[in-house]
Structure 1
Amino acid sequence: MADDAQIGARLRRVRQAQGRSLASVAQEMGISSSALSQIETGAMQPSVNRLIELVGVLGVPVSTIFDDVDVFAPQVNPHADATEPLPGVLVAQGPAEPAALGQGVTYRRLTPGALAGADWFESVYPPGSSSSADGAMLVHAGHESGHVTRGRLTFEFDDGAVTLDVGGSLSFDARRPHRVVNDTTEVAVAIWLTVGAGEHS
């Protein structure tokens, strides 16, 4: 599993590769340079909301946190167990390592390699957890479609909420403020497809 230091190091490499200063990224996110530095060094564990906000500001997909490679070198295979049995066909027999975020929420990519303009991943929400501990709504580029495979999740928007049980799904423009909440006593799991995740809003 990718730990806080690995996630932070990957995000720092993206920021530095873009030639952006710590201060400019922190200012765009509305946080202090110190807080962003703590995320990049692994001293502070970001919430799901904060992490997705950060990759949105950097203009890269959430899958960036899973890749221990240069994100600007897509020809490098980012999945440790992936192979290319046929030209242009990338295969992985085992699951990717999950990344741990705030409140015990984990993300795990479901593709053997990065997909241009899209993310396909699984998120696991422990009882009482959410994508943002402080109640902040998330806004980022792209369109999202989620499908609940275990438990029950509530999807909060600025004008209401939708609760889905196993088998339920929803789609929405990710520029619409949103937050995912597991207010039950059971673990909940969702599979997500985000299209246009790396585009700036």
Structure 2
Amino acid sequence: MTDMDRFKHDLLLYLQDARDAFLWKLDGLSEYDIRRPLTPTGTNLLGLVKHVTGAEAFYLGAAFGRPVGAPALWIAGEAEPNADLWATPDESREEVVGRYRRVWAHSDATVEACGLDAMGVLPGEDGGEGPELSLHRILVHLVAETQRHAGHADLVRELIDGATGLRRGNEDMAPGDEAWWLRHRERVESAAREAGGRSAG
């Protein structure tokens, strides 16, 4: 295995880790819970999956001349604001998740077919061309973006039902029952109030 193959493997490993985390965060939740907005800006679990699906299709599909069906990204000027960040009542969980799996298989095929130095051209506004970026740069961007949104999913899931963890079988959380976590939270709250009182005075 060459150094370039190892770099590509590592990047895909971290990307796949985030992909799997998204789908795990949906496990055991109702249709309402995977869709309901948990922040003032509407952040929700199924919308996050829909968004990263569109991002992968944009960067590892269209940019390399390999378009694949996926939600249009509003930030790229392809849809109304935030259209890719929530699921309509007509978009089923199975449809959104299935499309994500299809797009990531398509993305993996793009990565497999290209060297890290292969250049992709991002679609621009009004059908024109945007910036030219290497596959290496695009993969780094997608790992960062997908992991960032996986962190959003962590917080949203915890707000829904208290479920936490990095990945199935490796929660990466301090051991403690509900009472322990309540005491811990109260300790953190107390420290915040004390520090806040000092700064206000």
Is TM > 0.5 for Structure 1 vs Structure 2? no
Larger gyration radius, structure 1 or structure 2 = 2
TM-score for the superposition, normalised by structure 1: 0.24
Larger strand percent:
1
TM-score for the superposition, normalised by structure 2: 0.24
